[in-house]
Amino acid sequence: MFERFIPNMRVNSIYEIPLQELKEQGIRGIITDLDNTLVGAKQALATPELTLWLDEVRELGFSVVIVSNNNETRVSKFAVPLQIPYIHAARKPRTVAFKRALDELGLKPEQTVVIGDQMMTDVFGGKRTGLFTILVLPISPADEGIGTRVNRKLERIVLARLRKKGLWVEGEMK
């Protein structure tokens, strides 16, 4: 049961994701969370480093959609200047928003990855939709809202079970 929370890949940040390797494996689309995945939860706009990364993503031929549980004001303010389509109030880990994102991308689950910082929403929802999941460390955990803090407590319980079963090794990335 707890295996549904294990990501296919773990990296410290989006900048460590092996984009060329994913492309060679037939991945063409990226569904990404926003808060604490691309930027800190309280950061309104993309950093110059993120803008360069998104340029690289596009140059490699990937299409991107942001799927966020946050409200439209927050998500649109971030996504519109970058010309990235988005789905707000996604209610992850429900699969509806992930399926909408696949429709937006025009891709199948096996051609798409989901990137996020939460096991309970991004990884679990992505796995339920048949997506390759990539877990990143949260950028600024101190800025998280109450819902995310509750999820982090649940994550600690899941991680303890996974460690006990030998399914999660600290420091073992990718």
| CATH code for the domain of 120 | 3.40.50.1000
Domain assignment present for 92: yes
Looking at residue 148, its pLDDT comes to 73
Question: In the structure encoding, which two tokens stand for residue 42, read together?
Answer: 């309280």
**pLDDT per residue as tens digits for the range 113-171:** 999 999 999 999 999 999 999 999 999 766 667 777 777 777 787 777 777 878 777 66
Instruction: Give domain status of residue 33, yes or no.
Output: yes
Mean predicted confidence (pLDDT) in 44-53: 97
On whether residue 172 sits in a domain, the answer given is no
- Do residues 131 and 121 touch, judged by C-beta distance below 8 A? no
Reported residue count of the chain is 174
- At 146 the pLDDT is 74
171 sits in the region (left: phi over 0; alpha: psi -120 to 50; else beta) called: left
Would residue 66 count as lying in a domain?
yes
Please tell me the predicted confidence (pLDDT) of residue 43: 92
- Per the model's pLDDT, the better-predicted residue between 170 and 3 turns out to be 3
pLDDT at res. 161: 78
pTM: 0.90
Measured CA to CA, the distance from residue 90 to residue 102 in angstroms comes to 13
If DSSP codes are grouped into helix, strand and coil, which group holds residue 47?
A: coil
Structural domain boundaries enclosing 142: 2-164
Rounded to 10 degrees, the C-alpha dihedral 92/105/36/128 comes to: 30
pLDDT tens-digit readout, 69-107: 999 999 999 999 999 999 999 999 999 999 999 999 999
Q: Are 85 and 65 in contact (CB under 8 A)?
A: yes
In a domain, 171, yes or no: no
Q: Do 131 and 112 touch, CB atoms closer than 8 A?
A: yes
- In degrees, rounded to 5, the angle at the alpha carbon of residue 133 between the alpha carbons of residues 47 and 4 is 135
